[in-house]
């Protein structure tokens, strides 16, 4: 990648990447409970009873409702609390893959679901550890990545442009770094602070003389040797759209109605008195007479005179607003394909009722899992390639994903018991509600069988010894009896 080509590539993608980042940042705000209702408060949910300078409208409360974060975390917890079980057909390879993925693989997937929900896609990269011959991986923030796709039907990832800020320890200021990764190398460029989009090579890669064993210089090119672009996309849906677009209008409507209701409750405490033909000297005298004497003086001109004191106050249409809030909240969870936690209080939480509650979430989670499976398979093949496992591209990869949800274990256990005699041990282990790792469960079963066979063999051997001992005693007794027997006359 030459300097001029890199500059042209960045300019070509500036507009599309800026639009993507705007959508992502908006979703991030809603995920962090900084809805549009709080824009006037710099993203802070705040009660303000005296925010407006109006006679009847003093309150300007702006409380944000975090429905979006609830729906996103709900799916992430449902899909990725338990890491998927990976099976490539060989136990030693399975163990090596599990060791490489590590204990935090479920947490990584959980974070990727959140990133994909907020940005439409998450990104993961992998690299060879500098101090040991092992493969490591990590999440890249979605707003740092601009993918370069092929125009063919297979939609192949040709390269990745990564942009981020880095601190210069000498000046204490940040500068922008642009990386370009293809299937062979990574190229590093530095953006000049004095002239944006003007680049220069960023020589941050050490070059070594392998024979001499010392550093020979610095370069801006890194040969990674993976044979593929070391970035993996985790898309959320076909359009790569954030989940927020489904429900943003509904959340804004709920915030608007709720805060209007809250403002009315605060403002209703302020009553405006309208004085007609008051006969006192000033308002202080009026308030004194009202508070102390519980009476006021007015001038009356006779029949038909409207002198007196009237009140102005706000009426709250409570029933209509309750209905709007209830309907809007229901639509948020319906269109967001989630579960309203309040619904669990209205059910006996058994069997069919639980499945119905999870139906919309399961539909969304299944779609997410379908896209994530392809990405996880790509990561597994990269691991197999790195460690030299046989046929990494052609070998079938089986992934078993486990949902985390409230369920009726008794009902599931009864179902498993019913079909146990007609199903394989592997299928039963996967469906067993008390089993978290079905592969480990099969190992336990195998160990139990071996231990049981060993015990039976040992028992059989002991029984045989007892029989032999009994036969020997019987033979000796017979011989003794024959020896002592007298011949008959």
pLDDT in tens, 265-312: 776 655 555 556 655 556 666 666 666 655 556 666 566 565 666 655
Residue 251, pLDDT score: 96
Query: Stretch 65-71: mean pLDDT, rounded?
Result: 94
Q: First-to-last CA distance in the chain?
A: 121
- The whole-model pTM stands at 0.76
**Integer Cα distance of 424 and 171 in angstroms:** 66
**Integer Cα distance of 163 and 424 in angstroms:** 50
| Of the listed ranges 63-77, 249-263, 399-413, the one predicted with least confidence | 399-413
Helix (H) or strand (E) holding 200: strand 199-201
Give the pair of three-digit tokens for residue 60.
């300007």
> 182 with 148: CB under 8 angstroms?
no
Residue 440, pLDDT score: 80
> 176 with 185: CB under 8 angstroms?
no
pLDDT in tens, 377-416: 999 999 999 999 999 888 999 999 988 876 656 666 777 7
Helix (H) or strand (E) holding 179: strand 173-181
246 CB burial (10 A radius; 0-12, 13-18, 19+): middle
pLDDT in tens, 133-156: 899 999 999 999 999 999 888 889
Domain extents in the chain: 1-31+81-243+361-404, 253-360, 408-470
263 CB burial (10 A radius; 0-12, 13-18, 19+): buried
**Integer Cα distance of 32 and 60 in angstroms:** 21
The residue with tokens 């539909």 is 363
């Amino acid at each position: 990648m030459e300097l001029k080509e890199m500059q042209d590539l960045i300019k070509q993608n500036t507009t599309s990447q800026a639009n993507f980042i705007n959508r992502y940042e908006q979703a991030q705000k809603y995920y962090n409970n900084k809805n549009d209702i709080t824009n006037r408060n710099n993203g802070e949910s705040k009660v303000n009873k005296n925010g407006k300078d109006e006679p009847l409208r003093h309150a300007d409360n702006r409380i944000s409702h975090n429905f979006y974060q609830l729906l996103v975390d709900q799916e992430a917890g449902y899909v990725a609390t338990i890491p998927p079980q990976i099976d490539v057909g060989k136990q030693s390879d399975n163990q090596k893959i599990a060791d490489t993925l590590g204990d935090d693989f479920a947490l990584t997937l959980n974070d990727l679901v959140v990133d994909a929900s907020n940005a439409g896609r998450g990104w993961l990269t992998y690299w060879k550890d500098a101090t040991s011959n092992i493969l490591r991986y990590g999440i890249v923030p979605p707003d740092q990545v601009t993918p370069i796709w092929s125009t063919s039907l297979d939609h192949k990832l040709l390269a990745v442009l990564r942009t981020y800020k880095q601190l210069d320890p000498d000046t204490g200021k940040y500068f922008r770094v642009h990386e370009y990764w293809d299937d062979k190398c990574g190229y590093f460029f530095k953006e000049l602070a004095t002239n944006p989009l003007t680049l220069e090579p960023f020589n941050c890669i050490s070059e070594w003389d392998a024979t001499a064993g010392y550093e020979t210089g610095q370069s801006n090119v890194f040969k990674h040797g993976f044979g593929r672009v070391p970035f993996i996309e985790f898309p959320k849906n076909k359009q790569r759209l954030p989940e927020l677009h489904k429900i943003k209008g509904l959340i804004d409507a709920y915030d608007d109605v709720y805060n209007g209701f809250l403002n009315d409750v605060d403002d209703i405490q302020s009553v405006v008195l309208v004085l007609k033909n008051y006969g006192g000297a000033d308002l202080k005298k009026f308030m004194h007479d009202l508070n102390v004497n519980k009476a006021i003086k007015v001038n009356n001109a006779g029949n038909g005179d409207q002198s007196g004191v009237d009140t102005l106050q706000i009426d709250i249409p409570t029933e209509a607003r309750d209905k709007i809030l209830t309907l809007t909240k229901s639509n948020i969870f319906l269109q967001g394909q989630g579960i309203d936690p309040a619904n669990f209080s209205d059910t006996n939480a058994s069997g069919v009722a639980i499945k119905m509650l999870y139906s919309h979430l399961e539909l969304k989670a299944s779609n997410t899992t379908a896209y994530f499976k392809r990405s996880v398979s790509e990561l597994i093949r990269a691991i197999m390639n790195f460690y030299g496992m046989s046929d990494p591209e052609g070998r079938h990869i089986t992934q078993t994903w486990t949902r985390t949800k409230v369920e009726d274990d008794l009902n599931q256990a009864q179902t498993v018991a019913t079909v146990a005699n007609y199903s394989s041990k592997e299928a039963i282990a996967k469906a067993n509600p008390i089993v978290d790792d079905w592969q480990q469960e099969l190992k336990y079963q195998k160990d139990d069988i071996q231990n049981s066979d060993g015990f039976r063999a040992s028992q059989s051997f002991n029984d045989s010894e007892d029989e032999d001992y009994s036969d020997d005693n019987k033979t000796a007794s017979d011989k003794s009896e024959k020896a002592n027997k007298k011949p008959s006359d």
